[in-house]
Structure 1
């Protein structure tokens, strides 16, 4: 892989100074200074200061010629996730637009999910939906992912594989969808390097084996094309050789089962001209010079790709009869091919955000499909499956009878196309003609098909089996929507029965649950506009009743818990009064200290269980307090333990009673945080073992910011020995802090 320049802050300022005015450059400098302050003292996995990463992200955005808000967001994209800065801080200092972009890129950190996969799916969904409101969210995220991929060598192999796989499944297709070829190609090549190094280096070897021969061939072809074009007297024509990207070679060799020598566009020439008319003129000249290869001409100017890509592609029998691909496009087309939607968001002084956003929305109607997929499911994994299947998979391009081109996922049929045109067209479809021939509704559309949707105003609408005939989320959503509306009254009745039964099954009385305050609370906590909407969704099968029962019974359960706690308080008070009464008995007046339990005593009290709490693990030397529990005696805590409730009726004075010559050991918890470098765990354990001979357990966790958290359970004699252990660990290189955690 090629080495990439590590940009300094000064390099970044020089770059933006090439195309921004002074006021806008000052905004970026302000964002840099704030990010540098927030990330002060933090390091990356590579060991370099963390601020290096935001600078590289901002530099990638600067090379795309992005606006000041986007580059500022690139510098600030990790401050909310990794520092004490808040979104309100970003809004106050840099404005709402920057805050929205940073929020869109920030992961969901405070919600606990059942699995890493669920967390990942939720993060992806949040990112995609944020992108739909401001495309710059995804542009910043792609720049962030690109730099992370460039520095992937610093991570463990399993993380390299996971991140590369995610990049190839999600981020490279997104870059492709947004038309940002310059990022897409690099993401794909680096991902291949880590996912399949054997194939990667095999292709590198094949590319290098006859490199001089291929370079000479391309140079000869470029010379011939320039000669042909010069005879046409066209202005400002640029002709050069184009390298083939490794991943595209891999796809053709492995996925399409082609040999290296069968990949015709391995040798390619690109022509950049001034106008569309010049594109076709150059195409004619090249076809006059060399014979075109049958079936290898593609006109993406007349039929642009969904990501706005336009170009003419032709493969000819070039010099010596060898296959040669030629791409012909205008300068504007080339800009879009390299930078895609980023070219439309590129810095244009005086152009308003509204104008740019409108420009993008006209070109990127597929955003609407993301929203439709979101509306059709509240499950993040299902949402991502729908996005990947419909937007990132293979596509076909079909024509309407009027000549409009529609993009559909591979496997789509006439009904998918009908609903893509309009909901009413889909609902009133009676049949379809493909290339003038009537075809069944389960026909699979192919690229180039001319599809005529036949409709009737007297149609009663979709049939129940249509959902099995469509592949797009839009079509499925519209069909379900039709039946929701059509069978609404029936679904409401079914929904009522389902909810009533669920209330009974959970042991509640229906009249206690379905009160007006409870129903109002339900509407406030859900997206339903009315109770009937809720019943209709239940009856349609789009929601499960138990989740609604949990919301409806929240107050009932709170009241029951409050009563339980009141009764527990009463029992504890009675228990405490009994202890005091026993202490006042004449036979106990001269009693000695009770026998120590875990080295702790309560003065003048016998026959009461005493135990050291696991939540704060007190050791001799700690200031401690006793807490009377129900049925489990007295629990001993450190006096600063957050689990001790300030309640005079439950607290008792306790003391340590440990002989000086005691060999008793006490469990203690130590938590270490630091930079996840090689041998960090070994160094920590070595320093602990030097003072404490008994380590009972060790657990480690590495977070997204390359911070490692090591949790140890050790045995010590007292607080002095524990503090000695902690001081030794603090001296370990790259340790941020050492503390005693509360469980």
Structure 2
């Protein structure tokens, strides 16, 4: 299949001919491989592993890592990690091949022909997006994570390959520059370690956290490491005494087959607890713990009784994760007792539970090797289904918002509540009845009218606690309120509310998006622009299906005009490689539709002047006070040849202008028939949180108010300051707008200012 030197008749080298150290299990595969291994899609497990390794070796030949090692060392290490956690041969084969599409000339089609669609599908799931230029690292990271989560939804085994890949990369970061080490370590802590935790792969989680900790907080890492080493002998002696006492008591109780051992906590876990509880190292008692493994479920509770009979339990520290497992499938009994004059943590579980705690989803596959496993309706993957549903429905191009939501979803603790029928529902900590309603079904959330929590009527914004019984009251006439966005905690609920709003106001938001483009690009040729191939590509880049969806997202505020125009310029450049990048909006319009002439928005100005009393004189509205129809105004004659400036009569600058230069003017009462709008500046002080600007823009969009400029200033530990330039018809509309924004829970203050 692939020609090369020193080949056996079956096309595979002898183990010693690869020139690198191979693990024993791989050597066994290479030595017993049958002659038929050169054919496509080997069905024998050892043949599959031998072929996939050999192909990876050949494709990566001549490539080296930053450390100087042959590149094949990395996929070999990834495959070895996958084998250690019990992954199947096809997953291990994908570990060998996970970088070949990204880093060599082979295609996914060829890979599928050699190894079948399962292996190629796994490789595709972990392959980064190639051939696409991203304007910044954040966008590239967000889009690659979107791709990975969608692949995980189709086949959850994708994440095993990705986590093994990341773990070996973290082990071998020393050869990279310091800034790149920091960036990778930060991403590992924020995304991949929590992802391993969500999937219950404790062995990966602990090492990823410690490796990131070592790079991100090196001084604290060394300090805790030294503390652990210094007190090890004392701790081990104390644990040994406790173990012997418990072993004797457990045997006397009739338990014969059990294991009991001490285990050290990983360093990042100790440091996190020190930070969370604001304690010094010597004040953290559970830097080590006892683990008791018993043969069956009944024995778990018998062993617990023995522990509590032997040592005094600490109130409030018992947790039954067997009766109520963690979302990742983790099961165990946790208790804390006073042993040998010091508190100690004890965990009790069966061998099966221990396998799940160590290896997570790899320990209990719910499919056979020949299947095509997907997330399906498995409850433990509900968080992944919701995340994928959200990113498909939201279609947001706000990459910072997307990354923040992923981190929140992976990190957040959960609360467990009950439906009226007694079914358990897991929700993000801080969730409300609205989050619960949307977790049950979209229609339940969309028609939610009220809630009973523990048989008591409560406000919809009430936060849920562990053990609450929640009942949702619905009515056909009820519909989501934008105010709900101020207190819902889950991305699912937040985006279902926005989705309902966008669908119910779709025509308005499409028209609004079109008006925004008309304002900057002109009316002539806009139809040609919207149907152009470049604009379709822009929609795809924004994770939208059609240009109509793009207009709706633009009108809704999910994407900005700046984002659309920047991507449009780049798409035009890619389609016309021999032409220069269009720098202006005028050039964009001309480039897309050569027969269209640019029309300035000024050409479509109303025929009737909104100001009466000027008799054809040139005028402008004063930026210092930005007057609006409905307010008393006055004209002032500017020095030199600068026309008339219109101010509000209570403008502070009027007192400095002599009365001889003041003109009586008033608003045209027929102004409304021309739908003229005027710019006004608002300064809004808000609590600094992700998405607050989008929530404000959504309220403005709901009132059909255009935002021509938005700027945000943030300072660590202080409220954020948002400057908005909006277009209004009257002072009455301004008052309603200010009241609507002021009513938001995150808004501290709002004021009208002069135009900047």
Q: TM-score, normalised by structure 2?
A: 0.66
Distance in 2 of aligned mates of 1:457 and 1:450:
23
Distance in 1 of aligned mates of 2:560 and 2:234:
66
Stretches of structure 1 lacking an aligned partner (at least 5 in a row): 1-5, 564-743
State how 1:250-649 maps to structure 2 within 5 Å: 250-318=271-339, 320-345=340-365, 351-354=369-372, 357=374, 361-374=378-391, 375-379=393-397, 380-446=399-465, 448-487=466-505, 491-493=506-508, 495-496=510-511, 498-499=513-514, 502-503=517-518, 505-509=520-524, 513=528, 522=536, 539-542=555-558, 547=564, 557=591, 560=594
Distance in 1 of aligned mates of 2:295 and 2:124:
41
Name the Cα RMSD after superposition: 3.4
Structure 2 residue 98 is the aligned partner of structure 1 residue 98: no
Structure 2 residue 26 is the aligned partner of structure 1 residue 13: yes
1:377–1:383: 8 Å Cα contact kept in structure 2? no
Shift of 1:22: 9.2
Specify the alignment match of 1:617 in structure 2. Answer: none
SS in 1 for 2:430: coil
Specify the alignment match of 1:243 in structure 2. Answer: 264
State how 1:35-184 maps to structure 2 within 5 Å: 35-184=56-205
SS in 1 for 2:404: helix
Specify the alignment match of 1:600 in structure 2. Answer: none
- What's the CA shift string for 1:37-80, capped at 9, x where partnerless? 11111111222111111111100001112112111111111112
2:417–2:464: 8 Å Cα contact kept in structure 1? yes
1:433–1:453: 8 Å Cα contact kept in structure 2? yes
- What's the CA shift string for 1:433-472, capped at 9, x where partnerless? 44454433222333x2414233032542222311222121
Which stretch shifts more, 453-462 or 160-169?
453-462
Distance in 2 of aligned mates of 1:261 and 1:511:
69
Specify the alignment match of 2:740 in structure 1. Answer: none
Shift of 1:265: 2.2
Shift of 1:120: 2.2
2:203–2:359: 8 Å Cα contact kept in structure 1? yes
Shift of 1:272: 1.1
Distance in 1 of aligned mates of 2:165 and 2:546:
42
Specify the alignment match of 2:624 in structure 1. Answer: none
Distance in 2 of aligned mates of 1:430 and 1:472:
19
1:125–1:384: 8 Å Cα contact kept in structure 2? no
Distance in 2 of aligned mates of 1:34 and 1:276:
46
Relative to structure 1, the CA distance from residue 140 to residue 325 in structure 2 (aligned partners, 3 Å threshold; closer, same or farther) is: same
SS in 1 for 2:318: strand
- What's the CA shift string for 1:191-236, capped at 9, x where partnerless? 1111111111111111111211111111122212222221233353
- What's the CA shift string for 1:545-584, capped at 9, x where partnerless? 7849969999973663999xxxxxxxxxxxxxxxxxxxxx
Distance in 1 of aligned mates of 2:558 and 2:260:
57
Distance in 2 of aligned mates of 1:113 and 1:351:
37
Distance in 2 of aligned mates of 1:112 and 1:80:
18
Relative to structure 1, the CA distance from residue 451 to residue 523 in structure 2 (aligned partners, 3 Å threshold; closer, same or farther) is: farther
1:265–1:324: 8 Å Cα contact kept in structure 2? yes
Alignment length, in residue pairs? 548
Relative to structure 1, the CA distance from residue 501 to residue 59 in structure 2 (aligned partners, 3 Å threshold; closer, same or farther) is: closer
SS in 1 for 2:314: strand
- What's the CA shift string for 1:480-515, capped at 9, x where partnerless? 22223433xxx4155236425624641452586389
Distance in 2 of aligned mates of 1:111 and 1:238:
54
Say which one has the larger Rg.
1
SS in 2 for 1:265: coil
Relative to structure 1, the CA distance from residue 359 to residue 283 in structure 2 (aligned partners, 3 Å threshold; closer, same or farther) is: farther
Specify the alignment match of 2:11 in structure 1. Answer: none
SS in 1 for 2:195: helix
SS in 1 for 2:182: helix
Relative to structure 1, the CA distance from residue 481 to residue 201 in structure 2 (aligned partners, 3 Å threshold; closer, same or farther) is: same
Specify the alignment match of 1:215 in structure 2. Answer: 236
Distance in 2 of aligned mates of 1:559 and 1:210:
75
- What's the CA shift string for 1:697-728, capped at 9, x where partnerless? xxxxxxxxxxxxxxxxxxxxxxxxxxxxxxxx
SS in 1 for 2:348: strand
Relative to structure 1, the CA distance from residue 264 to residue 360 in structure 2 (aligned partners, 3 Å threshold; closer, same or farther) is: farther
